[in-house]
Structure 1
Amino acid sequence: MARDFYDVLGVRRDADSEEIQQAFRKLARKHHPDISKDPQSEERFKEINEAYSVLSDPKMRQRYDRFGENFRQIPEDYDERVAAGAGARGGPYGRPGGGGRVRYSTGGGQGFDDVGINFEDLFGGMFGRGAGGGGFGPVPGADQEAEIELGVVEAYRGGHRSITLAGPDGQRTYDVNIPRGVVDGQRIRLAGEGGRGSGDGPAGDLLLRVRIKPDPQFRLEGRDIHVAVPVTPWEAALGATVPVPTPTGSARVTVPAGSSSGRRLRLRGEGMPNPRGTDGDLYAEVRIMVPPELDGEERELFEKLAAVSTFDPRKPG
Structure 2
Amino acid sequence: MEFKDYYQILGVDKAADADAIKKAYRKLARKYHPDVSKEADAEVRMKEVNEAYAVLGDVEKRAAYDQLGGRYQDGQEFQPPPGWDNGFEFSGGDFSAADLGEYSDFFANLFGQAGRGRHHQGWAQSMRGEDHHAKIVIELRDAYAGATRTISLRQARADAQGRVSMQEHSLNVQIPKGIREGQQIRLTGQGSPGFGGGPAGDLYLEVHFQTDPHYRVDGRDVYETLPVTPWEAALGASIEAPTPSGKVQVKIPAHSQTGRKLRLKGRGIPGEPAGDLYLLLEVVLPPADTEKARQLYAMMAQELPFNPRQTMGV
Shared fold (TM-score, shorter chain, > 0.5): yes
Are 1:270 and 1:282, in contact at CA under 8 Å, matched by a contact in 2? yes
User: What does residue 234 of structure 2 align with?
Assistant: 237
Q: Which residue of 2 aligns with 1:141?
A: 129
User: Which aligned pairs between 1:211-250 and structure 2 lie closer than 5 A?
Assistant: 211-250=208-247
Q: How far, CA to CA, are the matches of 1:221 and 1:13 in structure 2?
A: 49
- From 102, 127, 151, the equivalent of 2:89 is 102
- The code of the aligned residue for 2:196 comes to G
2:262 matched residue in structure 1: 265
CA distance in 1, matches of 2:293, 2:262: 29
Deviation track 1:176-218 (CA, whole Å, cap 9, x = no partner) reads 1111122221111111222233333222211111121201332
Letter in 2 for 1:307: Q
Q: What is the Cα deviation at residue 229 of structure 1?
A: 1.7
2:97 corresponds in structure 1 to none
Aligned with 2:195: secondary structure? coil
Match of 2:193 in 1: 196
Query: How much is the aligned-residue C-alpha RMSD, in angstroms?
Result: 3.7
- The corresponding residue for 2:143 is 155
Partners of 1:295 and 1:15 lie apart in 2 by: 74
What are structure 1's unaligned runs of at least 5 residues? 1-11, 20-60, 84-94, 114-133
Aligned with 1:286: secondary structure?
strand
Match of 1:288 in 2: 283
* Matched residue count: 225
Name the CA distance, whole Å, in 2 between partners of 1:70 and 1:272. Answer: 38
User: After superposition, what is the alpha-carbon deviation per residue over 1:70-122, rounded to whole angstroms, capped at 9, x for unaligned?
Assistant: 7524349x69x969xxxxxxxxxxx99xx722123255675546xxxxxxxxx
**For 2:88, what is the secondary structure of its paired residue?**
strand
- Name the CA distance, whole Å, in 2 between partners of 1:103 and 1:239: 53
Are residues 1:166 and 2:154 paired? yes
One-letter amino acid of the structure 2 residue matched with residue 288 of structure 1: V
1:252 maps to 2:254: no
Q: 1:103·1:147 contact (CA, 8 Å) conserved in 2?
A: no
Shift of 1:168: 3.9
Q: Deviation string for 1:198-242 (max 9, x for gaps)?
A: 333222211111121201332222222222222221111111111
Q: Which residue of 2 aligns with 1:55?
A: none
Larger radius of gyration: 1
Give SS of 1:234's match: helix
> Which residue in the other structure is 1:54 paired with?
none
Matched AA of 2:138? L
Conserved in 2, the CA contact under 8 Å of 1:100 and 1:165? yes
Structure 2 contact 191–200 (Cα < 8 Å) conserved: yes
What's the TM-score once normalised by structure 1's chain length?
A: 0.59
Q: Percent identity?
A: 36
Report the TM-score when normalising by structure 2: 0.60
Distance 1:150 1:184 in 2: 9
| Residue type at the aligned position of 1:242 | I
State whether structure 2 residue 62 is matched by structure 1 residue 65: no
Tell me the CA shift for residue 163 of structure 1.
2.1
1:194, 1:204 within 8 Å by CA — same for their partners in 2?
Answer: yes
Q: Does the CA-based 8 Å contact 2:288-2:294 persist in structure 1?
A: no
Give the conservation status (yes or no) of the 8 Å contact 2:268–2:275: yes
Code of the residue aligned with 2:87 in structure 1: it is G
